[in-house]
Amino acid sequence: MAELSTPHRRWTPARLDVRLKLALLCTASLASLQMQLYGLLGLLLPFALLAIARRASLGARIRELRWVFWILALVFAARALFTEGAPLVSLGPVAVTRQGLQEAVNACLRLALMFVLGGVFIGLTPTGEIKAAVQWYLRPIPGVPAARVATMLGLIARFIPVIFAEAARTSEAQRARLGDRRRSPVGRLATFGLPLVRRIVLSADRLALAMEARCYSELRTEPELAARGRDFLAFGLGLAMLAVALAV
Partner 1 sequence: MAAIIEIRNLVHRFADGTTGLDGVSLDILAGSFVVLAGANGSGKTTLLRHLNGLLTPTSGTVRVAGLPVAQNRLRARMQVGMIFQDAESQIVGETVAADVAFGPENLRLDRCEVDRRVAAALAAVGLEAAGDRRPHLLSGGEKRRLSIAGVLAMQPQVLVFDEPFSNLDYSGVRQVLGRMVDLHRAGRTLVVTTHDLDKVLAHADRLILLDRGRIAADGDPAAVAAAAEAFGVRCPPLAAERLSWLN
Binding site for partner 1 (CB under 8 A): 1-5, 126-128, 131, 154-155, 157-158, 161-162, 165, 203, 206-207, 209-217, 219-222, 224
Quick one: 39 exposed, middle or buried, by C-beta within 10 A (0-12, 13-18, 19+)? buried
Quick one: 174 exposed, middle or buried, by C-beta within 10 A (0-12, 13-18, 19+)? middle
Judged by beta carbon, residue 1 or residue 197, the one nearer partner 1 is 1
Instruction: Report the nearest approach of partner 1 to the CB of residue 221 (Å).
Output: 4
Instruction: Report the nearest approach of partner 1 to the CB of residue 209 (Å).
Output: 6
Instruction: Report the nearest approach of partner 1 to the CB of residue 32 (Å).
Output: 29
Judged by beta carbon, residue 2 or residue 186, the one nearer partner 1 is 2
Per DSSP, the residues of 74-129 read HHHHHHHHS--S-EEEEETTEEEEHHHHHHHHHHHHHHHHHHHHHHHHHHHS-HHH
Judged by beta carbon, residue 18 or residue 28, the one nearer partner 1 is 18
Instruction: Report the nearest approach of partner 1 to the CB of residue 134 (Å).
Output: 13
Rounded CA-CA distance 6/9 in Å is: 6
Judged by beta carbon, residue 22 or residue 43, the one nearer partner 1 is 22
List beta partners, residue 230: none
**Cα→Cα distances 81→86, 100, 147, Å:** 12, 7, 48
Instruction: Report the nearest approach of partner 1 to the CB of residue 201 (Å).
Output: 12
Rounded CA-CA distance 146/192 in Å is: 36
Instruction: Report the nearest approach of partner 1 to the CB of residue 167 (Å).
Output: 14
Judged by beta carbon, residue 180 or residue 212, the one nearer partner 1 is 212
Judged by beta carbon, residue 57 or residue 217, the one nearer partner 1 is 217
